[in-house]
Amino acid sequence: MNTPQVSTTVADPASVAAAIGSRFSVRAFLPTPVPRATIEKLLAIASRAPSGTNTQPWKVYVLQGPSRDSLVEKVCAAHDALAANPSLADTYREEYDYYPQKWVSPYIDRRRENGWSLYGLLGIVKGEKARMHEQHQRNFRFFDAPVGLMFTVDRIMGRGSLVDYGMFLQSLMVAARAEGLHTCPQAAWNGFARLILPHIGAGPDEMMVCGMSLGYADVSARVNSFHTPREPVASFTRWVE
């Protein structure tokens, strides 16, 4: 057992709570560059996330500059093509079901509240398909963040690796807050894996898990005033004695 880990005392618990509590999906970033050393530091911290039998299934691809910009062009073009021709849906299909095939309450209710609250904040009303498409495409521009991250996993791994991955991603996002950075985890990229995987140099045995935007939040952007509510502890907890 690693003695320093066992004996480490968290001297400022409030900062830990603040890092977790202040994490949210930022949808507008500044162009301010993020140093490579900072990104490497965040990934090193996140790598301490737990994984079943220490398999550490995460694979990370960092996009900046030309590689980021050219991927944005490719996926935005495909997104536009899909909107113009819905029959392309089978061409751009995610490899695993992130969402349920059939929505039921209370999940569909939360999903609708989330979507219409965001659109309402931006002044987008029901039926404005062009504006909805434009806002959705902001995902594929990394919301203007200078750093794009793509995460893959070997297809041979079991579903438990996705649980491990979730802990890795959360650790990365919380660590980013300690550096004054913000993030936006994005499953929206998954449907365009056939374009993304060869672009980033991922092997044929890798599967897209999600993407992520990383950078400094634009605090003046109206969209960043949108924060999703959370259910009270009592609504999802049962005390078994």
CATH at residue 165: 3.40.109.10
Instruction: Please check whether residue 189 lies inside any domain of the structure.
Output: yes
Return per-residue pLDDT of the chain as tens, 241 residues.
Answer: 466 888 899 999 999 999 999 999 999 999 999 999 999 999 999 999 999 999 999 999 999 999 999 999 999 999 999 999 999 999 999 999 999 999 999 999 999 999 999 999 999 999 999 999 999 999 999 999 999 999 999 999 999 999 999 999 999 999 999 999 999 999 999 999 999 999 999 999 999 999 999 999 999 999 999 999 999 999 999 999 9
Does 130 fall in a domain?
no
Single pTM value for the model: 0.95
**Kindly report the CA angle at 79 between 136 and 164, in degrees rounded to 5?**
70
Q: How many domains does the chain have?
A: 1
Is the separation of the CB atoms in 29 and 142 below 8 Å?
Answer: yes
Which residue range is the domain that position 47 belongs to? 25-92+140-223
pLDDT of residue 66: 98
Is 208 part of a structural domain of the chain? yes
Structure tokens at 139: 């995902």
In a domain, 19, yes or no: no
Is 81 part of any domain? yes
Is 183 inside any structural domain?
A: yes
Distance of CA 9 to the CA centre of its chain: 30
Kindly state whether residue 133 falls inside one of the protein's structural domains: no
Amino acid 3: pLDDT? 61
In this predicted structure, what is the pLDDT of residue 29? 98
Three-state SS sequence of 42-105: HHHHHCCCCCHHHCCCCEEEEECHHHHHHHHHHHHHHHHHHHHCHHHHHCCCCCCCCCCCCCCC
Strand blocks (E) in the chain: 59-63, 147-154, 182-186, 206-215
Domain-located, residue 125: no
